[in-house]
Amino acid sequence: MNTAIEKQLRDKPKTLVHALARNAREAADSTALVLPDDTPVSWRELWELANARAARLKAENIGLGAIVFVAGLQSLEFHVLLWASARVGAVFAPLNLQFTATEIRQYIEPLAELHRCALVSDPAFREKFSLLPGDLPRFALQETDADHTWRAMVDAGSAFAGELPEPGDGLYLISTSGSTGFPKPALLPHRAALSQAMGTVARRDWQRDERFLAMSPMFHISGLAPIGSTALAGSTLYVMTGFDPATALRRIERDQITMLAAFDVLLDKLMSLPEFEVRKMKSIRHIMFAGSPKYYQVLRSWGIGDIAGAYALTEATAVALLPHDCTDEHLRQWSNGVVLPGVDVRIVDPESRKVLPEGNSGEICVRGNGLFLGYLGREEATAASFDSDGFFHTGDRGRLESGYLFYEGRYKAMIKTGGENVSELEVENFLGAEIPEIRQVAVVGAPDATWGEVVCACIEFMPGQELSLDTIRARSREKLAGFKLPRRLLVVQANTWPQLATGKLDKGVLRERVKSEDAVG
């Protein structure tokens, strides 16, 4: 690790706002952001704009504990507003842009009864707020888009000069995925975002000259995390208004992007482009990846030296990340890395909550600096998620081996077939790694009159190759228990995989397709 990074980690800033202030002082003319239109923004400019906008927020009585709900795509104003909110101690709450107006009301109204709230929007998303009370202050994300209802958030005439935030103050309000019910508002403090940034910068040997392309949506922890890491390292974040594979590929090659974070669906979209060539990816030095281990070999074939598995979630930010100097190929491909400093992980029996010995699979529980403060306005849900030792129960299945964490799927993503439990992730990983004719695979449960559920493999085959269900079962039988073998097969065509707004695969849609379409079996 270079001397500059070592110093940053030794002289840890109290919050990421402190890191931004330091960059504006010590690396003022270095580039903080490169916008979608290729405009560069220096650390000094970002700091000054954030302070000017912070003064406006304070003039509107938006300060410590207030919530700034934002519906908009990435832009200069989006990033300025994020830092301005953090500067005054307000909570920045980027909204899932796939939410309907009804869902937005259900999400925001209970919070607006308890907290000072402001609504900020691009014109394209204003209808999302149409069902909310008219007395909530509304602001245009871009000043030129203001009208009689949506006021311009013009500068207040002077820069904000108040105290910097404290580590325990709220920073982000992020909605959970909603996989176990209506999305809950998870409140993350400044210390959680700093913990994630510190761990990521150290584990990736993140240099000042890194160029990170932000491909994930900013209402998701994977989208917000690079903002903190680039601020801590003093490197450059390349901004996209939304994920477009052709634009991403063009920017990777033209701007010599050195670092990415991606899901398998995003990588598939890049590789499916007619203009895709491996040589266009040659500038990539590091990639943090969440998806099928099969992609590890694909990324290796591109010549990328640092491919990092990770385990993170909204409520606990980054929990584990692979060290950049790990040389064990098995750990690189199959593990989710080593638990980060300042984070405790224990594996427990989900029923008895008894701590399990190393190597045993159970529920992943997390405690430490990266943890959220709770589900805002949802005290009962918050209390139910923690045990008496302060560990958050994730609902994820995994195991620890010699400090390395292995994620084995959601407990909710278990197929119950004939009295046996089958991990969807286990079967996906096996099929993807062992059967080369498979390009992408997802496993879901299909209703069955005899067994309750059976394993259904949803598969996209390599071009010109397709296997029968019987062949897949025959190739798997020696290594998978009989109850884990697929009994149904749904063939998925290229570029038709359903996708969540976060970029992850939408298994809910696949489960409905399995019910309504003719899955072979």
Position 292 scores a pLDDT of 74
Q: What letter does residue 499 receive in the DSSP assignment? A: B
Indicate the pTM of the whole model: 0.83
pLDDT at 4: 46
In sequence order, which residues have a C-beta less than 8 Å from that of residue 222 and are 6 or more positions away?
216, 261, 290, 312, 502, 503
How many Cα atoms within 13 Å fall on the side-chain side of residue 285?
13
Looking at residue 507, its pLDDT comes to 87
- Write out pLDDT tens, residues 234-270: 999 999 988 899 999 999 999 999 999 988 778 888 9
Residue 258's alpha-carbon distances to 99, 125, 284, 476, in angstroms, are 33, 33, 4, 38
Task: Write down the pLDDT at residue 518.
Answer: 64
Indicate left, alpha or beta for 158 from its phi (over 0: left) and psi (-120 to 50: alpha).
beta
Identify the CA nearest to 91 among candidates 15, 164, 17, 173.
173
CA neighbor of 216 nearest in space, from 259, 276, 277: 259
pLDDT at 11: 62
Which regions in the chain score pLDDT beneath 70? 1-11, 177-181, 501-502, 517-521
CB atoms < 10 A from the CB of 454, how many? 21
Residue by residue, what is the 3-state secondary structure of 53-87? Answer: HHHHHHHCCCCCCCEEEEECCCCHHHHHHHHHHHH
Q: In the chain, what are the domains?
A: 3-242 (3.40.50.12780), 418-516 (3.30.300.30)
Read off the pLDDT of residues 25-79 as tens digits, 9 standing for 90 and up. Answer: 999 999 999 999 999 999 999 999 999 999 999 999 999 999 999 999 999 999 9
With contact defined as beta carbons under 8 Å apart, do 74 and 239 qualify?
A: yes
Closest C-alpha to 315, from 343, 349, 336: 343
Helix (H) or strand (E) segment spanning residue 14: none
